[in-house]
Structure 1
Amino acid sequence: MDLQTWTWIIVGITFTLYIGIAIWTRASSTKDFYVAGGGVSPLANGLATAADWMSAASFISMAGLISFSGYDGSVYLMGWTGGYVLLALLLAPYLRKFGKFTVPDFIGDRYYSNVARSVAVICALLVSFTYVAGQMRGVGLVFSRFLEVDINTGVIIGMIIVLFYAILGGMKGITYTQVAQYCVLIFAFMVPAVFISIQMTGNPIPQMGLGGSDANGVFLLEKLDSLHRDLGFAEYTSGSKSKLDVFFITAALMVGTAGLPHVIVRFFTVKKVSDARKSAGWALLFIAILYTTAPAIAVFSRINLIETVSNKEYENLPDWLSNWETTGLITFDDKNKDGKVQYVADANINELTVDKDIMVLANPEIAKLPNWVIALVAAGALAAALSTAAGLLLVISASVSHDLIKKMIKPNISEKGELIAARLSAVVAVCVAGYFGINPPDFVAATVALAFGLAAASFFPAIILGIFNKRINKEGAIAGMVIGVLLMLFYMMKFKFEWFGGGTKADWWFGISPEGFGAVAMIVNFIISLIISKFTPAPPKEVQEIVENIRIPSGVGEATH
């Protein structure tokens, strides 16, 4: 069968599975909608958390980014993996003990203020919309190549699918859909990696193939360094980022992880604190499978790309290149009119432009793997993007219906009314998300990295200090969150949006990139929160007792309103 037939079959089967699960697990109460009834097992929650966590950025973009950045791309591996450990150890059990549905719920009650709750809602919406833009672009990329529709149409198809099961099932439907999506995405990620590892090194384990050698006995990394040198690129194993920027990007990704509302809410879906810890452990194991494989895929795809296109006659190039050219994500401009592809570092001579986001998706085609494997990768990429998009949409709808309407605007709203409000806000959210998916500020991984920066600048200090410092009060937390997120927004817009200021790399403060600036804004948030709290009244005694109680790991009941 041809590739498109295989793609329709495999994507059709997986989408039918997701929709079937959503119908089977549809939410009948707000507790089902927000936290899946609080009765998810640690293993299922670990699988769902891993799917929620491994977004289009992890599946599609991370290996592509490492493929082009080499050593510099390791910041994404270190930051995202380390951040998850930080979340599991420092935050998840304590937030579960607090027993609320959402992060703004925690901040509103811990800081005894609707103003704090409102600021947290705004920050949750900012983070979630920035993050979901990356997912929707990922969906568009997959559809544009494998179902041969344009990216914008692909985004709209993805919006309709994710809206269906997010609205119908809420967190309950999303949780069990994400379990299925994890199985699909990890199988789709690993199968081509194993095939290509055997093809290039004879070793079926990609992680070991990365350190292996080819048929001529040359180590793959040495071979790639040599290819890069020949074409004028920096050696793959050398880094160009400053150590300071590497440190701040890694830190921003780590603490941003620990402040991501759509990941934190997963730990409210289990019965007790010990289950939150267990599910965090399971999720870390499931995440590690993909994250340890990504560097191998990055190297395999980079070598294959260079060897199949560099200095080759354009007329004799493999079909995969022309297939991807139709999407506009690879472009060839024969500058010297010699009919050959000059793929080199010098921008004035280089004739081939490759979008970083296509590397994982194109990799099986470049390696000439069977059509069913290529179609499987498309289904896996969609599973990764849609699982995270669904989690983010739920955070957005919960922030509006629960934190804004139920807690502030209309406290006496009925449960049915709150459920309707949650579903309506999800509809609006998916429309906004679709717009950002069609008009994203950057490629997928960079867009997602900015969301981590916003989470680091706003939520992380408020949550950490709220759990571990009884003296932090509402004045300090509100001022810290507002100044932190505004500082990050200013920096992000200055260097990512030309219409705002169009700053260049030479203008970066202290040489720190926008992806790493979230860590700077976080430090500012911490300092302001501590200083203002020191010179303003202490929190009420009952709030201080709540803080003491959060850290006692016993007598934990189910999550409550």
Structure 2
Amino acid sequence: MSAQTLTFIFTAITFSIYALIAVKTRAKSTKDFYVAGGGVHPVANAMATAADWMSAATFISLPGIFSFMGYDGAVYLLGGSGGFVLLAMLIAPYLRKFGKFTLPDFIGDRYYSTSARAIALICALFISFTYLAGQMRGIGVVFSRFLEININTGVIIGAAIVLVYAVIGGMKGITYTQVAQYCILIFAFMVPVIFLSIQLTNNPIPFLGLGSKMSGTETYLLDRLDGLNQELGFGEFTSMKSSVINLTAMALTMMIGTAGMPHVIVRFFTVPKVKDARTSVGYALIFIVILFISIPAIGAFSRTFLIENLQGLAYTDVPSWFKTWEEIGLISFQDINGDGIIEYSSNAGINELSIDKDIMFLASPEIANLPNWVIALVAAGGLAAALSTAAGLILVISAAISRDLYRNIINRTTEVKEKKELLLARFATIFAILVGIYFGINPPGFVMETIALSFGIAAASLFPVIFIGIFNKTMNREGAIAAMLTGLVFSLSYIIYFKFLDGSPDNYLFGISPQGAGLPGMVLSFIVMFVVSRFYSKAPKAIQDSVDKIRIP
């Protein structure tokens, strides 16, 4: 069978599974809709968390970024996995013990302020909508390539699938759907990586293959890749190209941002006990590392295959996969010197090949001439990764609108009936999906640009007030509000200015790129929080007692 036919079959089967799970686990109460009834087993929740975290950016973009950045790409792996350590040790158990449904819920009650709740809501919406834009675009790219339809049509189809299990199932349906999606995406990721590792090094374990000799030679794979890069004028794959301070800032922004991500944190409200929250984070880290530890390998493998297959090749002889990706604009050839030969070089004046980083993993089975069923499997995995995170983000947006905005801010003087709130939550879900479609069709940038914005905002605005809210019982609402506003304004301003207005690295603050903006933003937020809090009274006694209570084992 052709790759396209197999992709249709695999996609239809997986989508049917998602819809069936949503119907079987549909939400019947607001507790089901917001936190899956609070009864999810920690291992199941860990798999759902891993699927929620390993988005289109991880599955599609991160291998490509590693292919082009080499050693420097490790900051994304260190930051992401390190963030879960922070969650396990400092955040998740305490928030679970506080007993709320959403992050703005916690901030509003902990800082005894409707204004603090409203600002936390705004931050959560900024984070979620920008993150969602990347996921919806990822869905469109996968559909466009493998089902040969327009990217915008792919975005709409993907949104319709999410609509089914998000509106019907709520968090309960999404949780168990994400368990299935984790199994699909991890299998879909590991199969081609193992194939490529065997082809290049005869070693079936990818991260060991990365340090092995190439098949039939005495040359190590990384030595070969370093040599290829140097011949083409690129820096060695294994060398560090960015400054230490910038790489550190990027890694810490990823780490701190992870510990402040609303759609990740809300997952730990779904388990029965406080102990389960910590256990769930531990298992989630294991499930994530299975994929993360293989990303450097697939980055190196795909770059090796790409250079050896395309450099010096006549354009008339390019394989069919090149033409297919070229048609949707994610790879292009410009014959600068008119000789019809592809020249791939670091020199912009003679480089004739333009490659979108997002295609590196999706195209790797075709580049390596793997079987059609592997190509179809990668498509199903890419969709599972994007859909799982999109569903989690949409639910966070829905809860923010129906619970935090309507019930706890607009209508807080009147008791809202559960059926009415559940209906409103479902309408809010539909609204969030429609906004997601818009941003998927008109994205603010490619996947990692939007992800960088999300992590920067989370690290600078939400993490400081969450952390201090747990470990400093006297912190008052004025300090928290000032910190969130400072972090939100600084992170948005820094990223927008240096990403879209002035891209010169020479003007970066302390040499820190926009991807690392969360670190200085967080430091500034902490300083503002403590300075402002000194001018106002400490938190009320009842609040201090509640903070003491959540810290008791």
Q: Are the equivalent residues in 1 in contact too, given 2:201–2:213 (CA < 8 A)?
A: yes
Task: Report the equivalent of 2:493.
Answer: 490
1:144-200 CA-to-partner distances (Å, cap 9, x unmatched) read: 100101211111111111122111100000000000000000000000011111111
Task: Report the equivalent of 1:355.
Answer: 356
Q: Secondary structure at the match of 1:356?
A: coil
Q: Are the equivalent residues in 2 in contact too, given 1:393–1:426 (CA < 8 A)?
A: yes
Task: Report the equivalent of 2:384.
Answer: 383
Query: Take 1:341 and 1:494, find their aligned partners in 2: how far apart are those partners?
Result: 36
Task: Report the equivalent of 1:134.
Answer: 134
Letter in 2 for 1:419: L
Once the two structures are TM-superposed, the CA of residue 502 in structure 1 deviates from its matched residue by: 4.0
Gaps of 5+ in 2: none
Question: Identity of paired residues, percent?
Answer: 61
Query: Take 1:353 and 1:267, find their aligned partners in 2: how far apart are those partners?
Result: 42
Once the two structures are TM-superposed, the CA of residue 505 in structure 1 deviates from its matched residue by: 2.6
1:94-128 CA-to-partner distances (Å, cap 9, x unmatched) read: 00000100000000000000000000000000000
Letter in 1 for 2:455: F
Query: Take 1:327 and 1:86, find their aligned partners in 2: how far apart are those partners?
Result: 40
Query: Take 2:443 and 2:510, find their aligned partners in 1: how far apart are those partners?
Result: 27
Query: Take 1:209 and 1:489, find their aligned partners in 2: how far apart are those partners?
Result: 41
Letter in 1 for 2:319: P
Q: Are the equivalent residues in 2 in contact too, given 1:65–1:445 (CA < 8 A)?
A: no
Once the two structures are TM-superposed, the CA of residue 439 in structure 1 deviates from its matched residue by: 2.3
The answer to whether 1:392 aligns with 2:429 is no
Query: Take 1:153 and 1:425, find their aligned partners in 2: how far apart are those partners?
Result: 23
The answer to whether 1:74 aligns with 2:63 is no
Task: Report the equivalent of 2:428.
Answer: 425
Once the two structures are TM-superposed, the CA of residue 503 in structure 1 deviates from its matched residue by: 4.3
Once the two structures are TM-superposed, the CA of residue 506 in structure 1 deviates from its matched residue by: 2.7
The answer to whether 1:469 aligns with 2:484 is no
Query: Take 1:416 and 1:516, find their aligned partners in 2: how far apart are those partners?
Result: 43
The answer to whether 1:325 aligns with 2:350 is no
Query: Take 2:449 and 2:226, find their aligned partners in 1: how far apart are those partners?
Result: 25
Q: Are the equivalent residues in 1 in contact too, given 2:127–2:455 (CA < 8 A)?
A: yes
Once the two structures are TM-superposed, the CA of residue 13 in structure 1 deviates from its matched residue by: 0.3
Letter in 2 for 1:381: G
Once the two structures are TM-superposed, the CA of residue 453 in structure 1 deviates from its matched residue by: 0.7
Task: Report the equivalent of 2:482.
Answer: 479
Task: Report the equivalent of 1:557.
Answer: none
Task: Report the equivalent of 2:512.
Answer: 512
Task: Report the equivalent of 1:459.
Answer: 462
Query: Take 1:493 and 1:450, find their aligned partners in 2: how far apart are those partners?
Result: 9
Task: Report the equivalent of 1:16.
Answer: 16
Q: Are the equivalent residues in 2 in contact too, given 1:441–1:496 (CA < 8 A)?
A: no
Once the two structures are TM-superposed, the CA of residue 425 in structure 1 deviates from its matched residue by: 1.2
CA root-mean-square deviation? 0.9
Greater shift after overlay, 299-308 or 157-166? 157-166
Query: Take 1:419 and 1:506, find their aligned partners in 2: how far apart are those partners?
Result: 51
Query: Take 1:441 and 1:224, find their aligned partners in 2: how far apart are those partners?
Result: 33
Letter in 1 for 2:304: I
The answer to whether 1:194 aligns with 2:191 is no
Letter in 1 for 2:429: A
Q: Are the equivalent residues in 2 in contact too, given 1:64–1:298 (CA < 8 A)?
A: yes
Query: Take 2:448 and 2:212, find their aligned partners in 1: how far apart are those partners?
Result: 28
Once the two structures are TM-superposed, the CA of residue 216 in structure 1 deviates from its matched residue by: 1.0
Query: Take 1:282 and 1:19, find their aligned partners in 2: how far apart are those partners?
Result: 26
Once the two structures are TM-superposed, the CA of residue 429 in structure 1 deviates from its matched residue by: 1.2
Q: Are the equivalent residues in 1 in contact too, given 2:51–2:181 (CA < 8 A)?
A: yes
Once the two structures are TM-superposed, the CA of residue 496 in structure 1 deviates from its matched residue by: 2.4
Q: Are the equivalent residues in 2 in contact too, given 1:495–1:503 (CA < 8 A)?
A: yes
Q: Secondary structure at the match of 2:358?
A: helix
The answer to whether 1:167 aligns with 2:167 is yes
Q: Are the equivalent residues in 1 in contact too, given 2:22–2:177 (CA < 8 A)?
A: yes
Once the two structures are TM-superposed, the CA of residue 252 in structure 1 deviates from its matched residue by: 0.6
1:371-425 CA-to-partner distances (Å, cap 9, x unmatched) read: 0000000000000000001000000000110111111211322111111111111
Q: Are the equivalent residues in 2 in contact too, given 1:107–1:462 (CA < 8 A)?
A: yes
Alignment of 1:18-417 (within 5 A): 18-214=18-214, 215-411=216-412, 412-417=415-420
Query: Take 2:210 and 2:122, find their aligned partners in 1: how far apart are those partners?
Result: 43
Query: Take 1:19 and 1:116, find their aligned partners in 2: how far apart are those partners?
Result: 37
1:318-375 CA-to-partner distances (Å, cap 9, x unmatched) read: 2211121111100111111111101111111111100000111000110100000000
Letter in 1 for 2:115: V
Once the two structures are TM-superposed, the CA of residue 229 in structure 1 deviates from its matched residue by: 0.4
* TM-score using structure 1 length: 0.97
Query: Take 2:488 and 2:343, find their aligned partners in 1: how far apart are those partners?
Result: 44
Query: Take 2:294 and 2:452, find their aligned partners in 1: how far apart are those partners?
Result: 20
Q: Are the equivalent residues in 2 in contact too, given 1:170–1:394 (CA < 8 A)?
A: yes
* TM-score using structure 2 length: 0.98
Moved over 4 A (4+): none
Once the two structures are TM-superposed, the CA of residue 449 in structure 1 deviates from its matched residue by: 2.1
Q: Are the equivalent residues in 1 in contact too, given 2:29–2:418 (CA < 8 A)?
A: yes
Letter in 2 for 1:232: G
Query: Take 2:35 and 2:434, find their aligned partners in 1: how far apart are those partners?
Result: 23
